[in-house]
Structures are given as structure tokens and as C-alpha cells.
Structure 1
Amino acid sequence: MTMDIVLEDERWAALDLAALAQQAEAGVCAAFGLSPEGFEIALLACDDARIAALNGDFRDKPQPTNVLSWPSDARGAALDGERPTPPEPGVPEMPRELGDIAIAFETCLREAESAGKPVASHVTHLLVHGLLHLLGYDHVRDKDATLMEALETDILGKMGIADPYR
């Protein structure tokens, strides 16, 4: 995927967010047999204050959260627990826009430390989570949540990252 990363908070550079994002992208693309060259996303690496403002603007919840995503198209499945139809890729010269993701440094760090997980593993999980949202997966309905969690666990397991839900 072409990934435009905007580092609003320089603390992300120390984690090598670009490498973690590439790893998440490769895992998601492999899971769905998608060609990475056919898609593009934008990733905003910010702090809690910025994500709280975004969360307030877009979800009416003006508090920090770990990750937000904005798919470019509605891709969700009609029935609870069904897989969304994968998007058609563009071409390398004109990739299909999947959407945008924002991730907050302090919240990610706090959650990883609280759970006793490596920060890089937690961030990779949240990036996989955000990418799945861009592909139409969600966790509002029960069966959709079960499907999304299973996909995350499988994708992360293939990267050598432990099940984030255990």
C-alpha cells in the first residue's frame, strides 16, 4: 500500500512507526490476497489531545482513544458475521484510496504498559485493527466482532505477535 504517514508527534519516530505500519499492511494484504501496490491510505501519528479532538468531531466522544479510522467507502457486510466484499485494487500509478487512520501515542503506550505487552506489538495490533476497518470490518454487532477479532488474532499470529485478546 502506498502509505502517507503524517508524524504530528515525534515520539512515534522512536518506535519506527513506518516499519510497524509496513508490517501491519503486509499481514493484512497477505490475509486477503490483496496486492499492496493497488491501495493507498493516510496514517496520522498524533498525541492524545489531537485524537480526542478528532474523536469529539467525528464520534461525539471528546476523549482520547487508541485508534480511529475513516474508510473512504462503506464496505461493511449487510449481515452480522459476514465478510465484507474486498475492494478492487487500483493500479500502482493510481492506487485505490482505502481511507485514513489516526493513532494516539500516549494511549497506545499506556495500554501496552497496563497489559504488559511490548509497545510495538500493541501498535501493530491497532494498525491491523484500523486497516480491517478500512476494508469494511467492524465490531459493533456481535458476530462481526467475533469475526474481526479472529482475523486480527490470525494475522498477528502469522507475524509472531501473541493473541491480543488473551
Structure 2
Amino acid sequence: MIQIELSRDGTWPEGDWDMLAKAAVRATIANTPHGALLTDPATIEISIRLTDDDQVRTLNARYRHKDKATNVLSFPMIQPDLLETVTQNSDDGEVLLGDIVLAYGVCAAEAAEKGVSVDHHATHLVVHGTLHLLGYDHLGDGEADAMEEIERAALASLGIADPYLVRED
């Protein structure tokens, strides 16, 4: 089972962000080799914070030493090589996978630039953040390609277009 703890500050508009986040996380996990986590008896917990650019800038400066806002930050709580066994070794049947934080201003600006809705772009960012919690990265071309392939599959399963297609206007 997957449990999402979502918090949203006033910069994010009203909407069913909780449902969006749950769908994005489930679709992501279902499209990875970690999909078995969904059927495991353990409860996988992810905390998602929808906040403003200033809070994300502070976190980005503190933890990544980059003094600027970014669209999404992920803070994994489990080392990737332990994902396969962590649910089996949980004392209480609950595993905190990590935290994801999205910045509204950056997300909204990127959505406008791409010509997509904020909720579709936010869904993509939650998928992306979840992959980071699962140990995926995009430092090299091969890693980036693998990560983008899972993102495309997860988003397609939610009826969201490929975010990496180049639009010809």
C-alpha cells in the first residue's frame, strides 16, 4: 500500500492535488521494477509538499548548495540498493520512502512555457521526484534516457502526453 501525506501552502490554487499526487506516485512505481512494492504488505509512505519558490530556494541552497528555486526537490530516505529488502525488514510495516517538494512559481512558469496545464506539469514533477526517491538519476545520458522512458510510460498511463516531445509551432 502507498500512503501519500500531502501538504499545500496558499501559493498553490485549489484543486485535487492529493488525488493527483497519489495517481502520479502509483503510476511511477507501477512502471518500474519496484512495482512489487505495491503488493507488498508494507505501507510505503511519501511526503509531498506543495510550496512557494522561496521555500524551495532555501532547501535547494541548504541541501544542494544552489541558491535558486527549482521545480522539484526529492529527499530519499532509503538507499537505492536497499529498496528490494526494506519492506521485509520493517519493524512496524511502514517504510518512509522520502519527501518531494514542488515550487509553485517555477512549476507554473514551466507549464506556461511548455503550453501544458499546471496540474499535468505538477504530475510530471511528482513522477520525476518519485523516481529520484527510488534511486533513479539523470546525471549521464543512459540514466537520463532510462528515467525519461519510465516518466513517459507513467504519464501515458495517466493520459498525459509525452513531456519530452518537441512542439513545432
TM-score by length of 2: 0.84
> Which residue does 1:161 correspond to in 2?
160
Tell me the amino acid that sits aligned with residue 3 of structure 1. I
RMSD: 2.0
Residues 152, 108 of structure 1: CA spacing in aligned structure 2 closer, same or farther, 3 A cutoff?
Answer: same
1:15 positional shift:
3.0
Query: What is the alpha-carbon distance in structure 1 between the residues aligned to residue 37 and residue 13 of structure 2?
Result: 28
Query: What is the alpha-carbon distance in structure 2 between the residues aligned to residue 94 and residue 13 of structure 1?
Result: 34
> Which residue does 2:87 correspond to in 1?
89
> Which residue does 2:38 correspond to in 1?
35
Aligned identity (percent) is 38
Query: What is the alpha-carbon distance in structure 2 between the residues aligned to residue 13 and residue 19 of structure 1?
Result: 14
**Matched residue of 1:34: which SS?**
helix
> Which residue does 1:73 correspond to in 2?
78
1:94 positional shift:
2.9
Residues 147, 141 of structure 1: CA spacing in aligned structure 2 closer, same or farther, 3 A cutoff?
Answer: same
* Gapped regions of structure 2 (runs ≥ 5): none
TM-score by length of 1: 0.86
1:43 positional shift:
1.1
**Matched residue of 1:100: which SS?**
strand
Query: What is the alpha-carbon distance in structure 1 between the residues aligned to residue 147 and residue 154 of structure 2?
Result: 11
**Matched residue of 2:66: which SS?**
coil
Conservation of the 8 A alpha-carbon contact between 2:11 and 2:52: no
Instruction: After superposition, give the CA deviation of every residue in 1:108-163 in whole Å (9 maximum; x if it has no partner).
Output: 01100111011111000000000010011000122111100011001111111000
How many residues of Structure 1 are paired with residues of Structure 2 in the alignment? 157
**Matched residue of 1:126: which SS?**
helix
Conservation of the 8 A alpha-carbon contact between 1:86 and 1:135: no
> Which residue does 2:67 correspond to in 1?
62
Query: What is the alpha-carbon distance in structure 2 between the residues aligned to residue 157 and residue 87 of structure 1?
Result: 29
* Gapped regions of structure 1 (runs ≥ 5): 77-83
Residues 41, 141 of structure 1: CA spacing in aligned structure 2 closer, same or farther, 3 A cutoff?
Answer: same
Conservation of the 8 A alpha-carbon contact between 1:108 and 1:123: yes
Conservation of the 8 A alpha-carbon contact between 2:28 and 2:150: no
Instruction: After superposition, give the CA deviation of every residue in 1:11-68 in whole Å (9 maximum; x if it has no partner).
Output: 4351321111011022123222431762001111110000000000011111110000
> Which residue does 1:80 correspond to in 2?
none
